[in-house]
Amino acid sequence: MPTYSTNEFRKGLKIQIDGIPFQMVEMNFRKPGKGNALYECKLKNLVRGTVTDKTYRAGQTVEAADVSEFTAQFLYKQVDGFVFMKLDDYEQYELTADQLGDDAKFLKEGMDCSLLVFNDNPIGVTLPNHVVLKVEYCEPAVKGNTATNVSKPVTLETGAEVLAPAFINIGDWLRVDTRTQSYIERAKDPEEG
């Protein structure tokens, strides 16, 4: 199993501790007056989603996580899971609603995502940064309120709810940032190009 030395530590690095994959979400280098340099890391458990702190001394090594990441297409939602297909060999993977969390609200059939797999088991998915979704429901704009910067909740075709400007209507297409779950701009119907 490959290893990483502390001088290779960086944000986004995937390591393995006691057989569990972690991703470095933050790494700070600290050199006290005496003794070895310290690497203070915040590590996200890729299986459970929890974050933990761990400190390493300069020169220590950690195991590289045996994880792979590849493009997969979201096929459909089942009663208790979400099915994705790897594009090159058509192998299918299923993730639970717990594994997806809030990202499930922005999944649309046919969407390409990045699937994270550990020991041949899917453990997470990364959605595209921006998605274009249709507004299924929103309250009509109040006359005279459309020029100001008033927001209202809108429900998108996938069931997600975001705040959007008051001038948005049912049937409009919106570009949404999946990382912040927020409205970016009005968009064109993706079918029209």
**193 in a domain, yes or no?**
no
Domain limit, last residue, from 108, 126, 144: 126
Q: Are residues 7 and 59 in the same domain?
A: yes
| Residues 6 or more apart in contact with residue 193 via CB below 8 angstroms | none
Is residue 193's pLDDT more than 70?
Answer: no
Q: Supply the pTM of this predicted model.
A: 0.76
Question: What tens digit of pLDDT does each residue of 92-141 get?
Answer: 999 998 888 888 999 999 999 999 998 888 988 889 999 999 999 998 87
Q: Are residues 101 and 75 in the same domain?
A: yes
Residue ranges making up the domain that contains 119: 67-126
Q: Let me know how many helices (H) and strands (E) the chain has, helices first.
A: 1, 16
Q: How confident is the model at residue 148 (pLDDT cuts 50, 70, 90)?
A: low
**Based on the structure, what is the number of domains in the chain?**
3
C-alpha distances in Å from residue 21, one per residue of 7, 70, 107, 124, 147: 20, 17, 25, 12, 49
Domain limit, last residue, from 126, 151, 172: 126
Residue scoring higher pLDDT (2 or 82): 82
Q: Are residues 58 and 81 in the same domain?
A: no
DSSP secondary structure, 82-126, as one string: EEEEETTT--EEEE-HHHHGGGGGG--TT-EEEEEEETTEEEEEE
Q: How far is CA 73 from the centre of its chain?
A: 15
Sign of CA dihedral 148, 168, 153, 130: negative
Please report, for the domain that includes residue 99, its CATH number: 2.40.50.140
Domain limit, last residue, from 79, 111, 126: 126
pLDDT for the residue 176: 94
